[in-house]
Structure 1
Amino acid sequence: MPVLVMKFGGTSVANLDRIRRAAKRVGVEVAKGYDVIVIVSAMSGKTNELVGWVEETSPLFDAREYDAVVSSGENVTAGLMALTLQEMDVPARSWQGWQVPLKTTSAHSAARIVEIPTENLTQKFGEGMRVAVVAGFQGISPEGRITTLGRGGSDTTAVAFAAAFGAERCDIYTDVDGVYTTDPRICEKARKLDRIAFEEMLELASLGAKVLQTRSVELAMRYGVKLRVLSSFEEQSDQAGTLVCAEEDIMESNVVNGVAYSRDEAKMTLLSVADRPGIAATIFSALSEAGVNVDMIVQNISEEGRTDMTFSCPTNEVPRADAALDKIRQDGQLNYAQLVADTDVAKVSVVGIGMRSQSGVAAKMFKVLSDEGINIRVITTSEIKISVLIDRKYMELAVQALHDAFGLDKAA
Structure 2
Amino acid sequence: MPLLVMKFGGTSVADLERIENAAKKVQKEVDRGYDVIVIVSAMSGKTNELVGWVETTSKLYDAREYDAVVASGENVTAGLMALRLQEMGVPARSWQGWQVPINTTSAHGSARFVSIPRDNLDAKFAEGFKVAVVAGFQGVSPEGRITTLGRGGSDTTAVAFAAAFGAERCDIYTDVDGVYTTDPRICAKARKMDKIAFEEMLELASLGAKVLQTRSVELAMRYKVRLRVLSSFEDTDETSGTLVCDEEEIMESKVVSGVAYSRDEAKITLVTVEDRPGVASAIFGPLADAGVNVDMIVQNISEKGHDDAHPGAVTDMTFSCPVNQVERAKKAVEDARAAGSIVYEDLVVDSDVAKVSVVGIGMRSHAGVAAKMFSALASENVNIKVIGTSEIKISVLIDRKYMELAVQALHDAFELEKG
Normalising by structure 1, what TM-score? 0.97
Q: Tell me what 1:295 maps to.
A: 295
Matched, 1:311 2:322: no
**Correspondences of 1:138-287 after superposition (within 5 Å):** 138-287=138-287
Deviation at 1:328?
A: 2.2
Q: Deviations over 1:232-254 (max 9, x none)?
A: 00011110000001111011221
Q: Is there any run of 5+ residues in structure 2 with no aligned partner, and where? A: 306-311
Superposition RMSD in Å: 1.2
Instruction: Give the Cα–Cα distance (whole angstroms) in 2 for the partners of residues 312 and 210 of structure 1.
Output: 20
Q: Secondary structure at the match of 1:387?
A: strand
Give distance in 2, aligned partners of 1:362 and 1:215.
28
Distance 1:111 1:272 in 2: 41
- Give the distance between the partners of 2:328 and 2:106, measured in 1 at CA: 23
For the residue of structure 2 that corresponds to 1:355, the secondary structure is helix
**3-state DSSP of counterpart to 1:18:** helix
Structure 1 equivalent of residue 74 of structure 2? 74
Query: Which moves more between the two structures, 288-297 or 8-17?
Result: 288-297
Are 2:88 and 1:88 aligned?
yes
Q: State yes or no: 1:342 paired with 2:358.
A: no
Matches within 5 A, 1:361-380: 361-380=369-388
Distance between the aligned counterparts of 1:59 and 1:301, measured in 2?
47
Q: Deviations over 1:147-181 (max 9, x none)?
A: 22111211110000000000000000000000000
Matching residue of 1:397: 405
Match of 2:331 among 323, 338, 343: 323
The amino acid of 2:400's aligned partner reads R
**How far has the Cα of 1:310 moved from its partner?**
1.1
Following the alignment from structure 1 to structure 2, what is the Cα–Cα distance between the partners of residues 56 and 73? 18
Shift of 1:121: 0.7
In 2, Cα distance between equivalents of 1:88 and 1:205: 36
Superimposed CA distance per residue, residues 121-156 of structure 1 (whole angstroms, 9 cap, x where no aligned partner): 111111121111111111112222222211121111
Structure 2 CA distance, aligned partners of 1:335 and 1:145?
46
Stretches of structure 1 lacking an aligned partner (at least 5 in a row): none
Cα pair distance change 1:111/1:310, threshold 3 Å: same
Q: Secondary structure at the match of 1:132?
A: strand
One-letter amino acid of the structure 1 residue matched with residue 385 of structure 2: R
The letter for the 2-side match of 1:335 is: V
The CA deviation at 1:106 is 1.9
1:300 is paired with a residue of what secondary structure?
strand
**3-state SS of paired residue (2:284):** helix
Residue 106 (structure 1) aligns with: 106
State the shift of 1:4 in Å.
0.5
Q: Distance in 1 between matches of 2:273 and 2:109?
A: 35
Distance 1:271 1:261 in 2: 27
What secondary structure, in the 3-state scheme, does the structure 2 residue paired with 1:265 have?
Answer: strand
Identity over the aligned pairs, expressed in percent? 78
Residues 230 and 403 of structure 1: CA distance in aligned 2, closer, same or farther (over 3 Å): same
The answer to which of 402-411 and 42-51 deviates more is 42-51
Distance in structure 2 (CA, Å) of the matches to 1:378 and 1:286: 22
How many residues in Structure 1 have an aligned counterpart in Structure 2?
411
CA distance in 1, matches of 2:158, 2:104: 15
